[in-house]
Structure 1
Amino acid sequence: MKRQNTALAAGAGLVALLAAAPAATASPPGGGFIGALSHNDVVVSTVPANGDVNPYGVAVVPSSSGRLVAGDVLVSNFNNAPTAANTGGEQGRGTTIVQVSPEGRRTLFARIPSRLAPTGEGLTTALVALRSGWVIVGALPTSDGTSATMRPGELIVLDSTGAVRETIMGHGIDGPWDATALDGGSFAELFVANVLPGISGGRPSSTRKGDVVRLVLDLRGKAPKLVASTIVANGLSVRTDPAALVIGPTGLALGPGGSLFIADAVNSRIARVPDAAFRLSAVDAGAARTTVASGKPLNGPLGLTLAPNGDLLTVNGGDNHLVELTRTGSVVANRNLDPKDPPGGALFGLAATAHPKSVYYVNDDTNTLNVLH
């Protein structure tokens, strides 16, 4: 009963948070948020001293605490250091999160010890920094960098000094690929996209079993406490890929009123799950009725975030374009962030800030954090 009361208290607080949040008005076509951003610069390399590469997750620190500084950017690395045998490093083996100031000063925020990651490392795009100072990152580990050795992984919870305080396994976590949060201060709802439901040992090579789990976390104790877990979306396409390990639902963005937007990379579409912050059952997010936008200019959308003006921003894995859409799917702007790389495949996580107006994103070909401003 105590567990139920805690979950109800969390729900009430988060409902109040959503009700109090201003409903941002999406921009009409003609420029939107990114239309006024004219400079596209490299901030700094994301490669730490141990050589980890392939930056995936991007999160802007919301408030200062411990070693975290408000406005700094956290970046998680998915691959370990390159070797002669693996010139790009092995996927699902990265252990580090770097912290970058807007001026380009890079420090190591955390290196996850193997003994504290029960199923292994491989830090994904599922990277969230909460106002309370907690940082949560997903791990989808492999033992050799191939899909045949992928394991369900876990969420790793770090404090504001970069120390691992706990890991969360099970409870619907199965290949955590991206995450977003409704941050209520004392409580948070964490939404996690999973790419491994129905896949074991890399087989079958494709499914429609990708899903999104909502985790309610009580943040008032010495470590976040999981009080509820609910699958809110399923039916999402996933396929293994030798170059990308696995392709599936990646970007997540929470809109006003609790709607959850999902980047369906396999089908080049954006899906919407209504009332995701409150619902008690899953929506088939692969169904046509959930589609907000599909097809060009979307081309394998990966990272997804909500711009300060309320529009959706996503980066294409297929052609390195940043696309801005209204929440009803109208295209506002479309910009190539890496014209030197025509095949695409360089971009993954991103985050937008209002002050100053900017979009931070990682380029995993150059292993850098970049900023459009």
Structure 2
Amino acid sequence: MISDQPPRQIRRTAQSLALARRTCLLAASCLCGLITLGAASAQAAPFIGPFAPNPAPVATTVPPNGDVNPYGIVTVPNSIGSLRRGDELVSNFNNSANQQGTGTTIVEIPPAGNDGTAGDASVFAQINPNTLRGRCPGGVGLTTALAVTRTGFVIVGSLPTSDGTSATAQAGCLIVLNSRGQVLETIAGGPINGPWDMTAVDHGFFTTLYVTNVLNGTVAAGTNASTGLGNVVDDGTVVRIQLLTTPGVRPFVLDEDVIATGFPERTDPNALLVGPTGVALSRDGTLYVADTQGNRIAAIPGAPFRESPATGGGLTVSSGGELNGPLGMTLAPNGDILTANGGDGNIVETTPRGDQTDIAADGPGGAGVLFGLTVPPGFNGVYFVDDGNNTLRVLRP
């Protein structure tokens, strides 16, 4: 049973803990930074180096309602409700008519995969835009922004359209579900404007979300008549949200801050929108961001505790080279940054120093087939979604 309103004492305690956490993280981040500097000379070998390229699919991501275009992926940490530890949750961005920004399903896939038959993916949640418990401007179109907590809450981004085009794209929201796939709450308004991707740091009592937003002025900027592409505006953002995730209490926002601005973004006839996408937080508190339009990896120092936003899209870790429209992002066990190229079907490993290694994850599929990716805890491999044939694949030795 979940209470609709958190008791005042819980709210006050949670807000106090959120404030205390910032202070603690500042000290911890400084210490981790010193440790990182001391160990910089002992750089690990590339994580993806031993992996076999172009793996075969292990599962379909298409549920019975026909949703396609898998975007987000996250590994379930604990068995609770309908969630099973080690399973992969995958969010679908398109409906059965392949209209972008209209997908409503999250599917759940066991580590070994499924039978591969389109339409057979097990549904964790099918979200009805007419029965949402809270505001979500435009409705439901599930993005790459996907997270699950140890306490069984699932958070997913929505950037909806009414016809699959950027002309009808609206601000959307973050949707919070329970462990049985039922919608509990939405997070909308304020700095949430086209939540495109997200990473989460689970503290148990509450969870910190880092969310990229790509709809700040992109539609209003119009389209270049000669190229057909949207005009670029440097208004993409990263928002940090502290969310109460205590069992038995309805999740609510404790704190919300814009921690980075100035990322380039635009509309696109094929990808709908292009802007800051994947995010991943390092142990020293640096938030890495996949700057898709800028074809680079950016860094936001001190992300857990910073009080003012990093401007100009943050610091550049690496640009060009093997990067080709980086989209989804995760961290390898060795601390390197893994990104999925939207331009060529490769996954690129980049060290915090900016050195690059790449591997063909879906060479035959080519451009536009990769998006979300994840490295499950203790697993020597990378799960990633393939938009080209709506499947789940695994890179491993």
Tell me which residue corresponds to 2:328.
Answer: 303
Unaligned runs of 5+ residues in structure 1 are 83-88
- Amino acid paired to 1:320: G
Q: Deviation per CA, 1:127-171: give whole Å up to 9, x if none.
A: 011111100000000000001000000000010011111111113
Q: Quick check: 1:312–1:326 contact (8 Å CA) kept in 2?
A: yes
Q: How does 1:32-181 map to 2 (within 5 A)?
A: 32-38=46-52, 40-82=55-97, 89-105=98-114, 106-117=121-132, 118-119=136-137, 120-181=139-200
Rounded Cα–Cα distance in structure 1 between residues aligned with 2:66 and 2:316: 40
Tell me which residue corresponds to 2:227.
Answer: none
1:195 is the counterpart of 2:209? no
SS at 2:344 equivalent: coil
Moved more, 62-71 or 27-36: 27-36
Rounded Cα–Cα distance in structure 2 between residues aligned with 1:285 and 1:65: 41
Equivalent of residue 243 in structure 2, options 200, 206, 217 = 217
Number of residue-to-residue matches in the alignment: 363
- Amino acid paired to 1:156: I
Rounded Cα–Cα distance in structure 2 between residues aligned with 1:312 and 1:195: 22
User: Cα gap change, 1:93/1:234 in structure 2, threshold over 3 Å: closer, same or farther?
Assistant: same
Q: Quick check: 1:271–1:285 contact (8 Å CA) kept in 2?
A: no
Equivalent of residue 257 in structure 2, options 205, 221, 230 = 230
TM-score normalised by structure 2 residue count? 0.86
- Greater fraction strand: 1
Q: Deviation per CA, 1:308-366: give whole Å up to 9, x if none.
A: 121110011011111111122112x2111112134x11000000124331101011011
SS at 2:375 equivalent: strand
TM-score normalised by structure 1 residue count? 0.91
Indicate the percent of aligned positions where both proteins have the same amino acid. Answer: 48
Rounded Cα–Cα distance in structure 1 between residues aligned with 2:322 and 2:159: 29
Equivalent of residue 294 in structure 2, options 267, 276, 291 = 267
User: Cα gap change, 1:138/1:33 in structure 2, threshold over 3 Å: closer, same or farther?
Assistant: same
Moved more, 30-39 or 356-365: 30-39
1:323 is the counterpart of 2:348? yes
SS at 1:9 equivalent: helix
Rounded Cα–Cα distance in structure 1 between residues aligned with 2:45 and 2:262: 34
SS at 1:240 equivalent: strand
Alpha-carbon deviation of 1:36?
2.4
Tell me which residue corresponds to 2:368.
Answer: 345
SS at 1:283 equivalent: coil
Unaligned runs of 5+ residues in structure 2 are 1-7, 115-120, 224-229
Q: Deviation per CA, 1:276-296: give whole Å up to 9, x if none.
A: 110111101425xx0000001
Larger Rg: 2
Alpha-carbon deviation of 1:7?
2.7
Q: Deviation per CA, 1:155-200: give whole Å up to 9, x if none.
A: 0001001111111111310000000011101011111000011234
SS at 1:193 equivalent: strand
Moved more, 271-280 or 15-24: 15-24
Tell me which residue corresponds to 2:389.
Answer: 366
User: Cα gap change, 1:248/1:126 in structure 2, threshold over 3 Å: closer, same or farther?
Assistant: same
User: Cα gap change, 1:35/1:15 in structure 2, threshold over 3 Å: closer, same or farther?
Assistant: farther
User: Cα gap change, 1:27/1:154 in structure 2, threshold over 3 Å: closer, same or farther?
Assistant: farther
